[in-house]
Amino acid sequence: MKIDDIARGPVLGPAPEDPRPAHDWIAASAGRFGLFIGGRWRAPREGGAFETINPATGEVLAHVALAGPGDVAAAVSAARRAQAGWAALGGAGRARHLYALSRLVQKHARLLAILESLDSGKPIRESRDIDIPLVARHFHHHAGAALALEDEFPGTRPWGVCAQVIPWNFPLLMLAWKVAPALAAGNTVVLKPAEWTPLTALCLAGIAQEAGLPPGVLNILTGAGETGAGLVAHKGVDKVAFTGSTEVGRAIRRATAGQGKGLTLELGGKSAFVVFEDADLDSAVEGLVDAIWFNGGQVCCAGSRLLVQEGVAEALQARLVARMEKLRVGDPLDKCIDIGAIAHPDQQARIALAVAGAEAQGGEVIQRAAQMPGAGCFYPPTYIAGLSPAAPLMQEEIFGPVLVGTTFRTPDEAIRLANDSRYGLAASVWTEAGGRALAVARAIRAGVVWVNGTNRFDAAAPFGGMRESGFGREGGRAGMAAYLCRARGPRLKPVAPHPAGRTPGPAATGLDRTAKLSIGGRQVRPDSGLSLAVHDAAGRLAGHVGAGNRKDIRNAVEAAPGAQPPRAPLGGAGPAPGVDI
């Protein structure tokens, strides 16, 4: 390596994740998947299937069943039959199943992360480090919510059968956002994943079987828009939850009007990213990377409208353009890339069409100059400067890696521009003045406002929009309340989860029976949270054991008899023998 190369830093090559776990899982079903109804897999009644593709390569991953009206009716009926027993199980009984789902998501985290990246095109780092841990977190949090349900929400009951329709940008995370609180509250669920990204929902159905979830409590229907419309309109559905476009949200509200159904809508956005002159510009640029180029900009609350105070507009743009040049676009399974593939060719075409008219609207299009992948659904990170606040690109959601920007002079003007939108999902405010930050945040009409940060989510925090970004909340106490209504008639008494005198096995209880590691005389979970399946001589599953990693090996070596304790810092006394570090 030359001296000049060392000065510039190491040249990073590809670091691909092995896709075999996902391909093996698909191959185990011969590349064809049915519908998950009443706790078992079924072929669609009307027949038919569709392909799901890898957007980074165009290869067909699997063929998935296309649910018709008869399948919708069967799934709703299965959910209805299961609902009374699931509600009567009580919070403690439901919590056991939700805890089991959380642990199994952790144990299958690698498979789920790879499958998510293959099916949706998002970078493996995002699937592995953000999406899947949050999925486990939602099931874990709502298991606790189920335990506290009677104390926190007295005089309420579950809605009954919930129809849930989720989008393609966060396929498994959106499932967890909706399924976890619905089940915790005592509802049963019929869920339709997006047509473009159904695989992780189907994988979770298998995990639900492994966890011993009672038949009919969770049903998965794959299909196109007609399947979702039929599910939402079905008379046997008591509550509807939808995340997606504002246009479809309007159609759902019309379809459910006057039917007495509960309704939660989390719709589109055009979120403002407001930068004041006193902001830390380097931090603001990194915040912009997270706000608009996270998941390729395919985020409902993406900070896609940059509003920057005039005094620092040029300086911020220079930093932003320099940062754009360092963003890597490529294979989603490469751990070194920043932006993966757009989820589908249709969405890629919509993004390109929106940007094509930018110059006619008075904008300056700035795109990353480095070479793009030669094949697949990719789009470069894009910044469009100089647009007027009234330009269509400043008003309409693009849903891709495209940032549009304009300037402001005063805080009042910043607030006016931030609110100059029919959407109201989220916003970010960047300033070192705490009083100004709070005042501006209160004045912006959005469901969520972050200060000196963006895209901060947790299962305990509510999320949702205002105006044409929908209504209702998901997550936190407000998210649980959305799946409960006022009780009518006598309350159900919780039943004992397991009849007296019986010792149920793991399949019946959903208990995690994974053997832990023995380190330092204590039973501990592996640092990775993952596990390995163990089969007997006949090939039957005998159980699971923890999958240790380098940290577990280090801990075991340090805990071994005769191991030397770590050296103390200079001037320190060091730890006493036998004391855990």
3-state secondary structure 15-79: CECCCHHHHHHHHHCCCEECEEECCEEECCCCCCEEEEECCCCCCEEEEEECCCHHHHHHHHHHH
CA angle 492, 496, 501 (to 5 degrees): 150
Rounded CA separation 161/37 (Å): 14
Residue in the structure block whose two tokens are 């409208």? 305
Provide the CA 175 distance to its chain's centre, in angstroms. Answer: 8
Rounded CA separation 203/70 (Å): 23
Rounded CA separation 578/522 (Å): 13
Rounded CA separation 184/431 (Å): 39
Q: 162, 203, 300, 301: which is the annotated catalytic residue? A: 300
Question: Please, which residues have CB within 8 angstroms of residue 151's CB and are 6 or more apart in sequence?
Answer: none
Known active-site residue 300: yes
Rounded CA separation 89/147 (Å): 11
How many residues appear in the chain? 581
39: tokens are 């706790």
Question: Is there a contact between 523 and 516 (Cβ–Cβ < 8 Å)?
Answer: yes
Nearest to 192 by CA among 201, 184, 200, 183: 201
What's 240's DSSP letter?
Answer: E
Provide the CA 467 distance to its chain's centre, in angstroms. Answer: 23
Backbone φ and ψ of 409, nearest 5°: -110, -45
Q: 266, 397, 468, 474: which is the annotated catalytic residue? A: 266
Backbone φ and ψ of 52, nearest 5°: -115, 135
**517-to-462, 513, 514, 534 alpha-carbon distances in Å:** 36, 13, 10, 15
Burial of 60 (0-12, 13-18, 19+ CB in 10 A): exposed
Residues noted as catalytic: 266, 300
